[in-house]
Structure 1
Amino acid sequence: MRPFLRSYAGYWDSGLSPYEVRVVPTGRAVLVINLGEPFAQVRRIGAPGTGSGRIGSMVVGLEDSPTLCVHRGGQEAIRLELTPLGAYRLFALPMGELAQHVVELHHILGPGAELLVERLAASRDWAERFDLLDGALLDRLGRGPDPAPEVGHAYHLLARTAGTIQVARICAEVGWSKGYLIRRFTEQIGLTPKTYGRVLRFDRAVRMLARGGATLAETSAVCGFYDQAHLNREFRALADTTPGRMLSARQVEGALTL
């Protein structure tokens, strides 16, 4: 499964205190298998509506804005971050339909998802849990649709350049018009090429700053921002915070504590 995944972790929180975390865009889809208490709320910050309400196992499509997750404490889960092409194969549906949405797992994987979660929760051995989940995921990946070669090439161009390549250059590389590229890329990846590149630049900046040793000006130049002011605006737009506040937040599994 390595080509389709960016992270795969089981974790638990023995504390019973409620908490809130902010999940920022990464350019990856997320699958959460909830083995304990459900989330009290999952919602996109700044989006209309009240969010998901109580939700257990879920799929989160690609996003270009932050998501707030509220939990009562005592969480136990397995969390996977999938590449967009891996998610397209695993979920076997247009990724554009999942973008900016949080969906209950059984709506994506079907009625067998609830049985799988029950079996995972019943086992107290993490190695057995991972074996069960590996088998279920590999079976679906083996039967999933193949993305168009042109979409795959466009995705890899964006990934290799961390979102700095121009859309016109991608069109020239794959031999498609801009309109056709946008339509097919959005269908199979979930975001437009331009928006996906924007998310990748932001994600690279987050990781570069987290490693330390680079100033905001240096990070802006390396990651393809016009200047530091542009970097700050993108952090506001995609994470609803500043670079400094984000880096001072405590990191938890795939998220930032508020």
Structure 2
Amino acid sequence: MRTRWVSLACVDGRHILVDLSPHGACTLLGVPLWEVTNSVISVAGVLGPAVARTAPGPRPAPQVVWAWRRLCRSGGRIRVAQLAAEVGWTRRHLLTRFREQIGLAPKTAARVIRFQHALRLLQHPERRLSLAGLAQTTGYSDQAHLTREFRALTGATPLELAAGWPYRGGT
């Protein structure tokens, strides 16, 4: 999971991107995910030890998986204190376990989830909202907040991203 934008270039045709759920990555990698957050990991560095293991890594706590799914369902709009109360843990315990097993603190994960929701809505021109409407729909305080988050997470504003998409829907 990433909290800042990164430019990845593939010059030799030998790179792939694997998209795992955080709890799937925790099980596959068998390391605390905060150790690999915002990192590009080599296959040899990851799959070598994973392939050599006879058993999968530790399974994430059910409370962490539930909290992750709850954050996703809320579009990143649930408060961490409420999330902790719903799983029956203190905020500090949730933060520690979540960061270890998901790779980010719950509040940071909520930020990324909220951004992803806004990005998905922005990618559908047939349902395009104004930036103020997009900000309101996805939980940002205003259009300026939305734009700051897009710039922080992608290096571009929402309009710059939308203008750069080669495919805009249709057939």
* CA distance in 2 between partners of 1:149 and 1:111 (Å): 25
Partner of 2:29: 91
* CA distance in 1 between partners of 2:31 and 2:118 (Å): 31
* CA distance in 2 between partners of 1:111 and 1:186 (Å): 22
Note the residue ranges of structure 2 that are not aligned, 5 or more in a row.
none
The structure in which a higher percent of residues are strand is 1
Q: Do 1:106 and 1:112's aligned partners in 2 also have CA atoms closer than 8 Å?
A: no
Q: Do 1:96 and 1:189's aligned partners in 2 also have CA atoms closer than 8 Å?
A: yes
Deviation digits for residues 76-120 of structure 1 (CA, Å, limit 9, x no counterpart): 55432111011111111111111111121111121687xxxxxxx
Query: How far is 1:64 from its partner?
Result: 0.3
Deviates further, 142-151 or 176-185: 142-151
Partner of 1:103: 41
Q: Do 1:202 and 1:234's aligned partners in 2 also have CA atoms closer than 8 Å?
A: yes
Indicate yes or no: 2:5 matched with 1:66: yes
TM-score normalised per structure 2: 0.87
The structure in which a higher percent of residues are helix is 2
Query: How far is 1:180 from its partner?
Result: 1.0
Indicate yes or no: 2:103 matched with 1:190: yes
Partner of 1:75: 13
Partner of 2:144: 229
* CA distance in 1 between partners of 2:17 and 2:8 (Å): 14
* CA distance in 1 between partners of 2:92 and 2:49 (Å): 37
* CA distance in 1 between partners of 2:102 and 2:166 (Å): 27
Q: Percent identity?
A: 40
Partner of 1:171: 84
Aligned residues: 165
Report the residue type matching 1:70 in the other structure.
A
RMSD of Structure 2 on Structure 1 (CA): 2.3
Note the residue ranges of structure 1 that are not aligned, 5 or more in a row.
1-61, 114-139, 253-258
Deviation digits for residues 51-98 of structure 1 (CA, Å, limit 9, x no counterpart): xxxxxxxxxxx11000111333x6255432111011111111111111
- After TM superposition, the runs of 4+ consecutive aligned structure 1 residues lying more than 6 A away are none
* CA distance in 1 between partners of 2:112 and 2:10 (Å): 26
Is the alpha carbon distance of 1:92 and 1:112 closer, same or farther for their aligned partners in structure 2, counting shifts above 3 Å?
closer
Partner of 1:148: 61
Q: 1:164 aligns to what SS in structure 2?
A: coil
